[in-house]
Amino acid sequence: MDERLWRVAISMTKGATAMLLRRMREKSLSWEEFFYSETPHLMQRLDISHAAVPRNEARRKAIEEAQKSLEFIDAHRIKIVGLGDEGYPRRLAECYDAPTALYICGEADLDAEKMVAMVGTRRCDVVGKACVESMVKGLKEKGLRPTIISGLAYGIDTAAHEAALRHSMPTVAVVAHGLSTIYPSQNKALARQIVKNGGAIVSEYPPFMRAWKQSFLERNRVIAGLSDLTVVVQSDVRGGAMSTARMSREYDRSTGAVPGRYDSELHAGCHHLIRNNLAELMANADDICQSMDWKIDAQGVLGAKGSIFEITNPEQKLIYDKLCRASEPLSVAVLQQELDMNMATVMALLGEMELDGMVMKVPGNRFIAVK
């Protein structure tokens, strides 16, 4: 029988867990033996309790329904990888409650060197979207291309996938339903773009499984399990993103949260995480790099600290070096005085450098270097 049929069937078997699958491997239990043996035999063979064995009816029904799903998988070029198989994401395999199987549409590398989850509320505002854009753009400008992972929901999830696509970075959407559909339906075009641009749509559910309340929480653990770092951009204290942050900590992965207005419900969850030392404060790409110890060299690749810009204009270099050494943002007046340059020249040079992304203007009409 097609090995993939067993993979589909185990993912459809109610009560089949990662722990059970690992025990089957330890005891060299075949698929046929698992699906066609009676419960007492499996209890003895696997040395587990009655409650840990999926019911006979559930196992038989899964086999019957798996064939229909396999036909859909073949027709739509969906890959299925089982826990313990070659190709199953290594980070996720380390999790105690890893899915027994994953369905993957797309070519993204789920074992990429760097994987960052960006999650948050569906009701995000322009500040949240701008923060996601700034983080993704900042990582790209530093020569880093982590895979951006999120859940294809409205709000922060959508902003994260779209920002990754804009900046030619790989992105993976983990969904809470089978791959025969996309939820929300308004994001079907986004899902197609993700796959078209080298990303992937990932699910632990068989193709025709519909989303339900619990599946969204289960989806969140997969997002956390695939990632090195989970960043909560905006969330209230009861938001779904908070469960992703909790699972990130349980898996001993890095967890960050973006601060915001003290009186905003959209940031209440983030403030809770930061205040209780459940997440690091992360407001930009620099914070991400510092937390993960990601450094870049002059060519914009991993290595020693340094600028990603090759500055040929000597006056621009004077300004850039001065801003790099400064412990705080500098005004045009301070730069003009300390570099002994004409005010108009300094302003013109800063304008050019800002357009090139070498410097950034901050409140107070002051400037910082983009490193």
pLDDT tens per residue, range 327-361: 788 999 899 988 988 888 999 999 988 888 888 88
The pLDDT score that the predictor gives to residue 302 is: 41
Distance, C-alpha 132 to centroid of its chain: 12
Tokens of 176: 């809470």
**Which burial class, exposed, middle or buried, applies to 314 when counting CB atoms under 10 A from its CB (0-12, 13-18, 19+)?**
exposed
> What's the topology of domain 115-292?
Rossmann fold (3.40.50)
Which of 361-366's residues contact partners 24+ apart within 8 Å by CB, and which partners? 362/329, 364/329, 364/331, 365/331, 365/332, 366/329, 366/330, 366/331
Contact 136, 156 (CB under 8 A): no
pLDDT digits (tens, 9 = 90+) for 201-214: 999 999 999 999 89
Residue 298: closest CA among 290, 289, 309? 309
CATH architecture of 314-369: Orthogonal Bundle (1.10)
In 10 A of CB 274, how many CB atoms? 19
363: CB partners within 8 A, 6+ apart: none
- pLDDT greater than 80 at residue 48: yes
CB contact burial 47-81 (16+ within 10 A = b; e otherwise): eeeeeebbeeeebeebbebbeebbebbeeeebebb
The residue to which tokens 């019957």 are assigned: 64
Tokens of 94: 């380390």
DSSP bridge pairs for 116:
148, 229
**Which burial class, exposed, middle or buried, applies to 179 when counting CB atoms under 10 A from its CB (0-12, 13-18, 19+)?**
buried
- pLDDT greater than 90 at residue 369: no
The pLDDT score that the predictor gives to residue 220 is: 97
pLDDT digits (tens, 9 = 90+) for 59-73: 999 988 898 899 999
Query: What is the distance between the alpha carbons of residues 342 and 335, in angstroms, rounded to a whole number?
Result: 10
Amino acid at the residue 340: D
pLDDT digits (tens, 9 = 90+) for 27-41: 999 999 999 999 999
15/120: higher pLDDT:
120
The pLDDT score that the predictor gives to residue 139 is: 94
Percentage with pLDDT > 70 across the chain = 95
184: preceding bond cis by omega (within 30 degrees): yes
Residue 187 DSSP class: G
pLDDT digits (tens, 9 = 90+) for 294-327: 876 444 444 333 445 668 788 898 999 899 888 7
Model-level pTM?
0.76
**Which burial class, exposed, middle or buried, applies to 340 when counting CB atoms under 10 A from its CB (0-12, 13-18, 19+)?**
exposed
What would the DSSP string read from start to end of 88-140? Answer: S-HHHHTSTT--SEEEEEE---TT-S-EEEEEE-TT--HHHHHHHHHHHHHHH
Q: Residues 232, 238, 244, CA angle at the centre, nearest 5°? A: 40
What size, in residues, is the chain? 371
Tokens of 21: 């699958």
Report residue 347: phi and psi, to 5°.
Answer: -65, -40
Report residue 83: phi and psi, to 5°.
Answer: -60, 125
Residue 217: closest CA among 241, 188, 253, 193? 241
Q: What is the mean pLDDT of the chain?
A: 91
Helix (H) or strand (E) holding 67: helix 56-75
The pLDDT score that the predictor gives to residue 308 is: 53
Tokens of 119: 């999650």
Q: What is the mean pLDDT of residues 189-209?
A: 96
